Chain A
């Protein structure tokens, strides 16, 4: 398996523009997570899905952020409009549900977003 695949790897955009980050989880995984990493706040969970259904979006900073998972192999995180404070590395991760047992999450390479 190729692992969790994120695109793009790097994104530079101007303030006010719409940004869409993409993620393909590991095939067969039931959970998908979006994390944001900054120097100030570390790794924060933004939202996660179970079987394509959003379970907890309490980490989404504000209404400018939205995430979708239209099928088991694809998810998007959208920021509209983007602001300089959104600059961060955004990670997507996926994990397997083993009958309720906790399992490790596998991370993508991340998308480094810079909003100027």
Chain B
């Protein structure tokens, strides 16, 4: 069965610093996708970045990058130059084959001015 683990319930970071949010996963399927979503206090789920299991390079989207270490089964999200607006819940998720997403418990990120 698929499993996503986010070990950091909460993180506090100073504005403009980089932050890494941890995510590990467990699957026996060689084909899968890894996603990060942001959920601000308003409640909506915002897609941030995607990494496919066969992708050779780490995914990047603006200030977001995904540090994909396949052998370790980790897919950490890196946010560079953090901003106050980055304060939110962040969810790691995995999908394999059937498109359905299994989510981790989330990490609450707080950016301090």
Please list the residues of chain A having a beta carbon within 8 angstroms of any beta carbon in chain B: 31, 33, 42-43, 45, 48, 50, 55-56, 89, 91, 93, 95, 97, 101-107, 109-110, 112
Q: Which among B41-49, B68-76, B77-85 touches the partner chain?
A: B41-49
> Which 5 residue pairs are nearest across A and B when measured between Cβ atoms?
A102-B33, A107-B45, A43-B103, A104-B47, A42-B105
Cα of A42 to Cα of B4 in the assembled complex, Å: 12
Is B18 part of the contact surface with A, judged by Cβ < 8 Å?
no
Q: Which chain B positions have C-beta within 8 A of A55?
A: 98
Cα of A91 to Cα of B35 in the assembled complex, Å: 17
- The answer on a CB contact under 8 Å between A104 and B91 is no
- Specify the chain A residue showing the minimal Cβ separation from B46: A107
Q: Which chain A positions have C-beta within 8 A of B37?
A: 107
Cα of A57 to Cα of B70 in the assembled complex, Å: 30
Q: Check A109/B32 contact, CB under 8 A, given A56-B98, A104-B50.
A: no
- The answer on a CB contact under 8 Å between A105 and B91 is no
Cα of A55 to Cα of B47 in the assembled complex, Å: 23
- The answer on a CB contact under 8 Å between B100 and A104 is no
Complex partner residue of B100 from A45, A101, A109, A110, CB under 8 angstroms: A45
Q: A42-B105, A104-B35 are in contact. List 8 more A-B contacts (CB 8 A).
A: A31-B100, A95-B99, A102-B32, A102-B52, A102-B96, A106-B47, A107-B37, A109-B43
Q: Indicate the member of A43, A45, A110 with the most B CB atoms within 10 Å.
A: A43
Is B11 part of the contact surface with A, judged by Cβ < 8 Å?
no
Cα of A61 to Cα of B105 in the assembled complex, Å: 19
- The answer on a CB contact under 8 Å between B45 and A93 is yes
- The answer on a CB contact under 8 Å between B99 and A102 is yes
Q: Check A91/B106 contact, CB under 8 A, given A56-B98, A56-B100, A102-B33.
A: no
Q: Indicate the member of A95, A102, A110 with the most B CB atoms within 10 Å.
A: A102
Q: Indicate the member of A56, A89, A104, A106 with the most B CB atoms within 10 Å.
A: A104
Q: Check A48/B100 contact, CB under 8 A, given A42-B105, A43-B91.
A: yes
Q: Which chain A positions have C-beta within 8 A of B44?
A: 107, 109-110
